[in-house]
Chains A and B, each alone.
Chain A
């Protein structure tokens, strides 16, 4: 399996990008990721469980995400739960950066074409 440089990475999908953004804050498990993505996208992106895990599997095989041990103390407070935590790899972190820059360039294009006002925060 050959891992390319993050710079060569194809553009990420919206859901993928949101998931990676959530993981920037530290390791998280499935349902927490789902909730965070839904919240941060203003409810526009709301992955179901099957889709989320397929996406995580793909990100993992692309080397952007890896499984991580549960943060200390968490497992104890949720007995009976089988949470599986995921965290960003260094490559994943880099990919988020690349993607963010790419998006900024895209936004600048939009501003240049007067789709967005220049002072908009987003």
Chain B
């Protein structure tokens, strides 16, 4: 209660300032005192009574203050007063505002350079903030385009021991949880994929979402035309159906409504188009073109893969009134109970849920908040700079203000005029800033990394507009108040007598020094952040992915089910590969079952080493199927033994190549080659044993930021896979290669589509997308900060020299050496700059910790970065101080003394 009391009294104290000064002086203290007494009486009746009192009092104070301003200052008696007022012409708030704005406008126009500099500074500050806020708004604030998205949660499983968290779940778990967790109203699941849509024209590969039938029900979205899928369509016994996206419908079917009910070929299966989703809807993947039922056989529920293979993302809708925390608790209990009932229980796995929005924006949250923080610093810096400019000007205008004060203008009058001027300036700057933001949003769209940040919904809406307005007005008040108070407070008599030696100017100089300290501290923060990100970026760039990425292009082909046997798969490859090799410019071709940088396939469970029994993996061991020439074409060194060759085919002894990390972990200090290994956890005579024939260098399969994973390779000819990613080494252009490839593929199998070619260096670049994005934005903020800070320091020192040129002239005339004068000026400027740098380093030391999650290979308190930042900023401050100092040294005493 005491806090509430304190707040209430504070609010009334502030509100009293709304009244005209004369009135406030007469009644202000008494009003506050009366309010305190009333509050004490009211407190006994509880918080609600106090809140009611507060609301009434605030409303009453605001209303009466406004009418007091509008009323004439000279009160007549009773009704007479009203008559008088009509004749006397009212000098109300509105008129006063009009005069102030007109006056401010004249001042602004009269000083174009000042205005341009101030407006540009503000435009950059407001623009950067608004642009970044629009990204935050799109990604973090705007609700998902789903029905009541706040009730949706992502359900996941984690196994910390095996190194995966918030991972996908198995189909059986979804069915169990759906039935047993009471706080979940319904639950659905989806998996990623691609599908080949055929029909008229070339077959086309589109992004597909494989979903349970109740997917659209659970996420609460209806089809724009036709219907969405229904629950029963989860299973294979339902008629094959497909739902199209609006984009695909436009692109491929020319928005023909007759498509609904027609049959199209998807992945070589005839499916009925049952519905078309609303325009813009592509949940759950960016650019989803078709939604296909998962199409499980009903008997699958009894199969072991149904329970063991985790490959689905699960979304649940909570019952009304259930909090995610409560649902999480119940899910945890149910999942643990189900785990305990299983024979092959893996006790370390647990289930949990996260609000969907939070889950989906999780990756982007930190970088966006970092950017928002950085842009706020820039805005603050811009405010300080404009405040600095205004302060210099307030000093110049001091005699004018003093004269006006002497002629009878009240302090509040001068103050309100200065503030109006600032607000007008802020509004111009804000408008320009909004323009800057529009450009900024476009730049963000271009700069946006492909996958790392979801910035699709980047747009300027009402909320962004409101934000920009609030920032603008806040800015105006922030940069205007100091100088305005300073201007209004100048004593008329003291200023008009214009003495040389006095404390005059000390106050404003101190304010100026505070501004310089602030500027330097803010600049240090931004430059230090940029420095850390730069060091991190360099560190990431220096990571060797473990394989060559230059002049290598990936081309993916997924063979459909009709390639059912190993022989058919091998025949396909044997037909196509020589054709690719004959394409002009192609130097070598190889293939692998997973695209580089997209991870590995991790078989469930452990494996057994001959003579040593079961090896429970504490971290997953990956598994890829590769062509014989894979290691050679990719430039992966063979460290021991041999790579695969053409003799490793079916009918021969199964062989395997492992990477160095796996060799070190399971055969430390020994030669792994010659040893045998099986994926069977309980090997018997029927088990398939692989002989390790070689050890190769590690690859960063999951991207350069994560450590290489343990991995075993199996030759394609012994275990052909239907997923083939050709890696083609070539100097030829991608477009030409694609054309030639299409021709060759059509010659082998005209029904097969070719997916977009992906140069490996572009895939690698995409991995660095987020780092590059953050670095380029924070880097430009830092450069901006340096410019603003140096302009600020320079401006202050230049104004100091100009203002004190008379004093300096006298000092020189009295025999002071020009060098001494220069040094004293230099020191006067450098001291606050140095304090600012120290303060900035202190705060940077604490605040750069926020960057920890996005940094790689450098600590957030990296000493080298901090030393570098200090050096850069002190250098810039020195230059900014040196120029005015040198000018002071060259002052002609006679000229300086004649100035007034």
Q: Which residues of A does B touch, CB under 8 Å?
A: 1-4, 9-10, 29-31, 34, 48-51, 53-54, 56-58, 61-63, 81-84
Contacts and interface: CB of A to CB of B under 8 A. Distances in A.
A65 to B, nearest CB: 13
26 contacts: A1-B74, A3-B77, A4-B78, A9-B78, A10-B78, A10-B79, A29-B34, A30-B30, A30-B31, A30-B33, A30-B34, A31-B38, A34-B34, A48-B57, A48-B59, A48-B60, A50-B57, A50-B61, A50-B64, A53-B30, A57-B27, A62-B75, A81-B37, A82-B30, A83-B33, A84-B27
B20 to A, nearest CB: 11
Contacts of A83: 30, 33-34
B67 interface: yes
A54 B64 contact: yes
B63 interface: yes
A9 B81 CA distance: 12
B65 interface: yes
Most chain B CB within 10 A, of A34, A49, A51, is at A49
B88 interface: no
Query: Which of B29, B60, B74 gathers most chain A CB within 10 Å?
Result: B60
B37 to A, nearest CB: 5
B32 interface: yes
B31 A62 contact: no
B75 A58 contact: yes
B35 interface: yes
Given A1-B76, A50-B64, A50-B65, A29 B56 contact: no
Contacts of A84: 27, 29-30
Contacts of B892: none
Contacts of B604: none
B23 interface: yes
Given A1-B74, A1-B77, A62-B75, 10 more contacts: A1-B75, A30-B34, A31-B38, A49-B61, A50-B57, A57-B26, A62-B78, A82-B30, A83-B34, A84-B29
B681 interface: no
A63 B30 contact: no
A62 B61 CA distance: 22
Contacts of B65: 50
B57 A31 contact: no
B67 A54 contact: yes
Contact of A50 (B31, B33, B74, B78): B31
B68 interface: yes
Contact of A82 (B32, B63, B75): B32
B63 A50 contact: yes
Contacts of B78: 4, 9-10, 62
Contacts of A3: 77
B80 interface: yes
A31 B40 CA distance: 12
Contacts of B61: 48-50
Contacts of A56: 27
Contacts of B29: 82, 84
Contacts of B56: 48
B527 to A, nearest CB: 50
A29 B77 contact: no
Which of A29, A48, A50, A54 counts the most chain B CB atoms within 10 A? A50
A17 to B, nearest CB: 13
A51 B60 contact: yes
Contacts of B68: 54
A34 B63 CA distance: 18
B80 A49 contact: no
B37 A57 contact: no
Contacts of A61: 75-77, 81
Given A31-B38, A54-B67, A57-B23, A2 B80 contact: yes
A3 to B, nearest CB: 6
A49 B79 contact: no
Interface in B211-254: none
A2 B38 CA distance: 36
Contacts of A51: 60, 64
B83 to A, nearest CB: 12
B886 to A, nearest CB: 57
B38 A34 contact: yes
Nearest to B18: A50
A53 B31 contact: yes
A78 to B, nearest CB: 9
Nearest to A47: B60
Nearest to A81: B33
Interface in B757-786: none
B33 to A, nearest CB: 4
Contacts of A10: 78-79
A56 B35 CA distance: 16
A82 B31 CA distance: 9
A120 B37 CA distance: 38
A30 B37 CA distance: 10
Interface in B21-61: 23, 26-27, 29-38, 56-57, 59-61
A31 B37 contact: yes
A14 to B, nearest CB: 16
Nearest to B76: A1
Contacts of A4: 77-78, 80
Contacts of B36: 81
B72 to A, nearest CB: 11
Contacts of A48: 56-57, 59-61
Q: Which 10 A-B pairs have the closest CB atoms?
A: A61-B75, A48-B60, A50-B64, A84-B30, A31-B34, A30-B34, A82-B33, A82-B29, A50-B60, A50-B61
B77 A62 contact: yes
A10 B64 CA distance: 22
A122 B67 CA distance: 35
A54 B67 CA distance: 9
Contacts of A58: 75
Contacts of B30: 29-30, 53, 82-84
A119 B107 CA distance: 73
B18 to A, nearest CB: 9
